[in-house]
Amino acid sequence: MLVGMSNWRAIVGAASLAAIGVAIALRKKNKMTEIVQPLPPCIFCNNESGSEEHLWPDWVHKFIKKNGIDLGGLRVQEGTGPETIEYDLEKKINTVCHTCNNTWMSRIEDKNRARFLKMLENEPFTLDTGE
């Protein structure tokens, strides 16, 4: 009887390992056959989006946290999807391409950072016609 029990455990163990192997193989097959949807075009040019752009730059997150500012929710709509209220201000979205994000958009942000900080601090500032 002991030999029979031992064989039974071996059979159950082998069957379990086989079932796990089949499940892993099916999971790998599903991942390999999964259709990857192309990213939508950049909202500023025809390049593929995918830059994982922050809704707010990192330096704004730090300023907001440091000063206890509550911006409340932000209305967000991606493409033709539903409009939602987003409370995670560190959320990243794929709406612009790497080229736009890292060239002209970055230059605009850098040039206007001091002015934007003044607005966050509720301090007045002056714009001249060249700005």
Q: Show pLDDT as tens, one digit a residue, over the chain (131 residues).
A: 444 444 444 444 444 444 444 445 555 555 555 677 788 899 999 899 888 877 788 888 888 889 888 878 878 787 788 998 888 877 787 888 999 999 999 999 999 899 888 888 888 888 877 76
Distance CA 26, CA 32 (A): 10
The structure's pTM equals: 0.58
- Give backbone dihedrals phi and psi of 129, rounded to 5 degrees, phi first: -65, -25
Count CB atoms within 10 A of the CB of residue 37.
Answer: 6
Tokens of 59: 């330096």
